[in-house]
Chains A and B, each alone.
Chain A
């Protein structure tokens, strides 16, 4: 049971570099989302998608891009990394009752 798979698990970037966090799910969920987790702030929604070809902004979208070309994949792109983007990133897919299924997280450090 793969569920939600995120790669990479760890990444170190220099300020200004770009990268893509990959997310794939095998549960045929239409809804997928990206959160960032910072100490004392819980999880904050970055972007989400309600189906292939449809994406929308969450609470903290600045500096991030997403696309959804297939039901399975929902990559998150950092366009020009900044130290403020140092965080743990979680991808999640959602079933109809609202229950989220999370990946194991990607820990990003921006120097």
Chain B
């Protein structure tokens, strides 16, 4: 079985500050990991994904995440927040090489303050 825990349902940062959204996972086999973003009244879109290649993954809009097996973490970061980054972010996990569905975390709402 797999699960995802996102620490902090709401995170606020000032424009230009570092964004750090936390995700910890559990999986009995090597995982594939994903970060999705959801803007108001829209569906989810993929930010980035880890599929067992490089552990530091770069995504769209300046976001990146690092897979740390020893910490079972896949935290999302961005060096400098922009107002347009305000959205809800979801971490998700699936066992690698499996047809099983993704398991999603409960989401983190990011607010960017001017």
A residues in contact (CB < 8 Å) with B = 4, 31, 33, 35, 40-43, 45, 48, 50, 58, 90, 92, 94, 97-100, 102-105
Given contacts A33-B101, A48-B101, A97-B51, contact A43 B46 (CB under 8 A): no
A-B residue pairs, 3 tightest by C-beta: A102-B43, A42-B106, A42-B104
> What are 11 sample pairs from A and B whose C-beta atoms fall under 8 A apart?
A31-B99, A40-B107, A43-B44, A43-B104, A48-B101, A92-B44, A97-B51, A98-B49, A98-B102, A100-B34, A100-B44
Q: Given the known A-B contacts A58-B101, A98-B32, A99-B34, are A40 and B43 also in contact in the complex, defined by CB atoms under 8 Å?
A: no
Chain A, interface SS category: strand
B-to-A contact residues, CB < 8 Å: 9, 32, 34, 36, 41-46, 49, 51, 90, 92, 94, 99, 101-102, 104-107
CB distance from B97 to the nearest CB of A (A): 9
Q: Which of B34, B101, B107 has the most CB of A within 10 A?
A: B101
Q: How far is the CB of A50 from chain B (nearest CB, A)?
A: 6
Could you tell me if B49 and A104 are in contact, using CB atoms closer than 8 angstroms?
no
Chain B's closest residue to A45 (CB) is B101
